[in-house]
Structure 1
């Protein structure tokens, strides 16, 4: 079976939660007889064709990028060509240009949408886009969402309950690097005490300004790994607050991320807006058996992290609640160990890449059978 994934950004240009999901589906599907290709945009689409691990990626040149939306004239023709060779088209939402490509190409192939997030920030543009969006979602055969929390709390998804299916995101632990003793020793020496860890792109909805506010008059070491548009603002805020217990590492490679996840005391993930629909970084923390702190925002973050079972869930944008949760984990090692062990067990039960790929492959097969 041949599957075409279509999204506005992808590896190797960008890394993020949606890219990780596409990657896991493309690689994990190989063992299930699925050949995946990815069509994406790139501001520098040279070379136009790249190989990412074992799957093929075609990059259309990005002509414009406005309001978090990339546009490419070339993508229309490439999509029509690649969809013609595919058995199933797998769209990744949201991206308004994708809707136009879908309708104008008239590809006629079974298609599904992974509904990664509501449109949260571009509210004014949403009012213009909404009719096209609803028509697009009505036209596809199946909609996949990663958690019941998001399905029940999305004003959009409740309209399409009859075609929506819950398939949680998953990761393949075997695909993560095994750090050498030397690499672990270097990080252990650099942070010679327990520390809280955040890993992710530093975006507006990650709630990191509230994390910094929560650290006033505390000495808990906090490591922030990642770069992004909010990096300069966060560093300025830490300086204004006089925080000496926060380390900004910038973007790190997978080996160093594995080291930090192994060594950290707990994982803190203070995303406070619905733009954070799931939290792949939370899955990584659970995979490494770490207790988590996250916010209750009605999305998949508290499907991954169950309050009092795998970690602590707190109100969003609340530095005092965040400080209290961190204090609780810092001062109660038995609770920390128990929550971490529960997180690892829940990961194995619900969030493996194999489970995600098998469930998605089942949907592909159903759609192809219906088309026959």
Structure 2
């Protein structure tokens, strides 16, 4: 069965969020599906396609952006050809140009849309884009939300609830980090700290975490890429900013941490894969209630604590509670790893998508 995945960006330009989900699905289904990813790139590889972990990657030159929407004219022809060759097209929303590609091609290939997120910020674009988006969503044969929370809270998804299903994002299991690597990081940052991992974006709520650390004096380690200056000046002494680190380094830091803090305060944080990584490591979590998948991964009172968004006092109190109540962090961490195993495995996610692919292909 040939499956074509379509999204605006992919590795090496971007390997966070949606690209990582696509990679997980394509890699884990490589033995039963011929998977191809069609995407844009700033510098496409000279030799096409690229072979990546058992699937194919086609890159088309990115022409620029308009209202944060990645643009290309040449991808329309590439999409038309690839879609005609596929048994199923798997779209990953949002990307407005993708909607136009599908509608302009008049493709008859069965399609599924994974609805990763609403478009949150682009108010000027929404009135123009809305009719196109709804035409695109209407023509899809299947629609998938990544959590029941997002399906319930998204006004767009509510209009298509009858044909929408939920497939949570899943990630692969990991071996314990090397002991020498853990020892290396322990010598640098110690242990028992509160850890954040993620990109320094506007919706991550890091200023509230830093203020919470200033209030309670507990140690915080911040890991990620982006503008360090956006974190503000005169960081408190109990906050350490490491910048980006490797995947194995992340696992070592998670091992050393007492808990994971994820202060994202806006709906642009549609799921929070970093929370899955913390749950997989058996760490209790602190996150904010923003009506998205973050509160599906981190269940308040079970796997961690959920607080109101943009509220450093509430964040601080949750951190103090986890640090001060004997046995609470260990209890919630044990529940977190169990929830990861039962709800968020990579194989579980991929097998559910395979069922959709098989159903759609059989009905064509």
Instruction: Provide the TM-score with structure 2 as the length reference.
Output: 0.97
Count of residues in correspondence between the two structures: 363
Q: Displacement, 1:258?
A: 1.3
The equivalent of 1:232 in structure 2 is: 229
1:104-143 equivalences in 2 (<5 Å)? 104-143=104-143
The equivalent of 1:258 in structure 2 is: 251
Hey, what's the Cα distance between the residues in 1 that align with 2:215 and 2:292? Answer: 31
CA contact (8 A) 1:278 1:301 kept: yes
1:170-181 equivalences in 2 (<5 Å)? 170-173=170-173, 176=174, 178-181=176-179
After superposition, what is the alpha-carbon deviation per residue over 1:207-245, rounded to whole angstroms, capped at 9, x for unaligned?
1111111121433221111112x53211xx1x33x4112
Hey, what's the Cα distance between the residues in 1 that align with 2:50 and 2:221? Answer: 34
RMSD of Structure 2 on Structure 1 (CA): 1.3
Hey, what's the Cα distance between the residues in 1 that align with 2:229 and 2:196? Answer: 17
Hey, what's the Cα distance between the residues in 1 that align with 2:44 and 2:191? Answer: 44
1:220-299 equivalences in 2 (<5 Å)? 220-228=218-226, 230-234=227-231, 237=232, 239-240=233-234, 242-299=235-292
Cα separation, partners in 2 of 1:178 and 1:290, compared to 1, 3 Å: closer
Q: Displacement, 1:177?
A: 5.9
CA contact (8 A) 1:268 1:293 kept: yes
CA contact (8 A) 1:266 1:290 kept: yes
Q: Displacement, 1:52?
A: 2.5
Matched, 1:101 2:94: no
CA contact (8 A) 1:177 1:255 kept: no
1:174-213 equivalences in 2 (<5 Å)? 176=174, 178-213=176-211
Q: Displacement, 1:158?
A: 0.7
The equivalent of 1:312 in structure 2 is: 305
After superposition, what is the alpha-carbon deviation per residue over 1:52-106, rounded to whole angstroms, capped at 9, x for unaligned?
2222111100001122211011211111121122110000000100001111122
- Choose the corresponding residue for 1:337, options 320, 330, 333: 330
Q: Displacement, 1:341?
A: 0.2
Unaligned runs of 5+ in 1: none
Matched, 1:8 2:8: yes
CA contact (8 A) 1:177 1:254 kept: no
Q: Displacement, 1:205?
A: 0.6
The equivalent of 2:36 in structure 1 is: 37
- Choose the corresponding residue for 1:356, options 329, 334, 349: 349
SS at match of 1:51: strand
Q: Displacement, 1:181?
A: 1.9
Cα separation, partners in 2 of 1:178 and 1:308, compared to 1, 3 Å: closer
Hey, what's the Cα distance between the residues in 1 that align with 2:224 and 2:310? Answer: 20
- Structure with bigger helix share is 1
SS at match of 1:73: coil
Instruction: Provide the TM-score with structure 1 as the length reference.
Output: 0.95
Cα separation, partners in 2 of 1:177 and 1:84, compared to 1, 3 Å: farther
Q: Displacement, 1:193?
A: 3.2
